[in-house]
A and B are shown apart, each in its own frame.
Chain A
Amino acid sequence: EVQLVQSGAEVKKPGESLKISCKGSGYSFTSYWIGWVRQMPGKGLEWMGIIYPGDSDTRYSPSFQGQVTISADKSISTAYLQWSSLKASDTAMYYCARSETGIFGDWFDPWGQGTLVTVSS
């Protein structure tokens, strides 16, 4: 079974750093892109960026470029999303999802269970 398992909920203070993870299993981790999606409380889905673990090629949404860093460690089939200095506005649920490639566009399946990040003083 293809599965993505994310790290647990985090509570942080503004200015702190954070790295959350997404571990893939049941497939060749290096052969599929992994994307990250933000969902702020009561809001919709926002695509943040995507990484190809095979060569660490990474693309960011213009809205998130410079705000977060996406990385991967293929030796342990894990992708990461990190912040160097959190803000209260980073409070959200973060999902990772495997990207499936189609001829005219890619879709996301499956999704991780989500990691809730709360930033509060």
Chain B
Amino acid sequence: QSVLTQPPSVSGAPGQRVTISCTGSSSNIGAGYDVHWYQQLPGTAPKLLIYGNSNRPSGVPDRFSGSKSGTSASLAITGLQAEDEADYYCQSYDSSLSGHVFGTGTKVTVL
């Protein structure tokens, strides 16, 4: 069982804005550790989407943005497109486990 909780699914129509939450605790996000986000398209390996809470690697569209506050973080997708249909995972470090942890994952469906 993951220590980072995400909603199982979110959906939106093309062009809409959706957000995905990632809820942690005082031993991970709340302890000041950064949150990173990955996109996993069907049948492919995960790909880095956001690092250091809000930074986009080169090549990632600015439709994707991240934020962090307290013991939670969020990923927002604006101008939703059909190609954004995928699973999304948050990731951080947990001091109690002395290791990296992933969120439970969220499936984004474009209606």
- Hey, which bits of chain A sit against chain B, CB under 8 A? 35, 37, 44-47, 49-50, 59-62, 95, 97, 100, 102-114
Q: Which of B11-64 contact A (CB under 8 A)?
A: 32-36, 38, 40, 45-48, 51-52, 57
> How far, in Å, is B109 (CB) from chain A's closest CB?
16
Q: Is B97 an interface residue (CB 8 A)?
A: yes
Chain B residues near A102 (CB-CB < 8 A): 34, 51-52
Q: What is the interface of chain B mostly: helix, strand, loop, or mixed?
A: strand
Interface size class of B (residues with CB under 8 A): 20 to 34
- A105, B101: Cβ atoms under 8 Å? no
The smallest C-beta distance from A44 to any residue of chain B, in angstroms, reads 4
**Known contacts A102-B34, A105-B34, A108-B91: does B99 contact A47 (CB below 8 Å)?**
yes
B89 touches A105 (CB 8 A): no
16 additional A-B pairs beyond A44-B2, A111-B45, beta carbons within 8 Å, are A44-B89, A44-B105, A45-B38, A45-B40, A60-B99, A97-B46, A104-B52, A105-B33, A105-B35, A105-B52, A107-B36, A107-B52, A108-B46, A108-B91, A112-B45, A114-B45
* A105 x B47 contact (CB < 8 A): no
A59 to B93, CA, bound (A): 13
Give complex CA distance A105, B35 in Å: 8
